[in-house]
Amino acid sequence: ILLGGNILLQKDDRKELPLLYQTLYVPAGQRAELILPDSTKVWLNAHSKLIYPVSFKEGTRQVELDGEAYFEVSHNVDKPFIVRTKSMNVKVLGTEFNVSAYSGVEEFNISLLRGSVELSAPDLSRKYRMTAGEQILYREGKYSSARIGSMDYFKWKEGLLCFNNQPIHMIIDKLRLYYDIRIEVADLPFLKERYSGKFRVKDGVEQVLKVLQLEHKFTYVKDNELNLITIK
């Protein structure tokens, strides 16, 4: 886990005040927890980065996310909490939600567990207010809304990968993302089949593949030098 800082200057009518920002990066296959200056709790998933100020200034609380994070926002009606991502901004007063917005993935996903959040983006004609229990998915230029299904997914905060009746090709996409590894797959029939199961993140990508092999016929070869797994 890498933690760094850089100084930006903010102008006001009187003088230039230095703002110190911290950058927290979580490497592949790991996760992190932190408490922000306003007492907001954040869990950061694998291969994710969060930029936040050492102290929040008057009027607003703003952080920048590249990856996936779970927030328990400290309530403050006079100081909204804003999460900026590559595709959308999330504005809250005090709530609990999970947001996934990796810069290398053409998808935005937010699940609201408690409270209320407001979404805004350049391609949204107006701001959208979510309700508790709702999940918004943005993929291929389209938005969709659904109710949150299994709560097991959010156990990634505890170091668990949980899959609930998901197509295997989507599971492999998650493995690529969370472990930052290239996975090349032949066009095999089992990729369209669905799987449910739980894995410890620390056990690694090969543990998931070995369990899948118990039900499906395939082989794989791992090249550590190329950081590549080939499935055939």
Find the mean pLDDT for residues 74-89.
91
Question: Residue 70: how many CB atoms within 10 A of its CB?
Answer: 21
Give the residue from 44, 142, 60 showing the smallest Cα distance to 102: 44
What 8-state DSSP symbol labels residue 62? Answer: E
Residue 11 pLDDT more than 50?
Answer: no
Residue range 155-184, pLDDT digits in tens = 999 999 999 999 999 999 999 999 999 999
d(CA 128, CA 119): 5
d(CA 127, CA 182): 37
Domains with residue ranges and CATH for the chain = 2-147 (2.60.120.1440), 151-231 (3.55.50.30)
Residue 83 pLDDT more than 60?
Answer: yes
Question: Residue 15 corresponds to which tokens in the numbers above?
Answer: 């003088």
Residue range 97-129, pLDDT digits in tens = 999 999 988 899 999 999 999 999 887 778 999
> 153 near 145, Cβ under 8 Å?
no
What is 139-161 written as a DSSP string?
ETTEEEEEE---GGGGGGGGTEE
What 8-state DSSP symbol labels residue 193? Answer: S
> 213 near 199, Cβ under 8 Å?
no
Residue range 176-213, pLDDT digits in tens = 999 999 999 988 889 999 999 999 999 999 999 999 99
Give the residue from 21, 88, 5, 8 showing the smallest Cα distance to 56: 21
Residue type at 39?
S
Residue 24 pLDDT more than 60?
Answer: yes
**What mean pLDDT value characterizes the chain?**
90
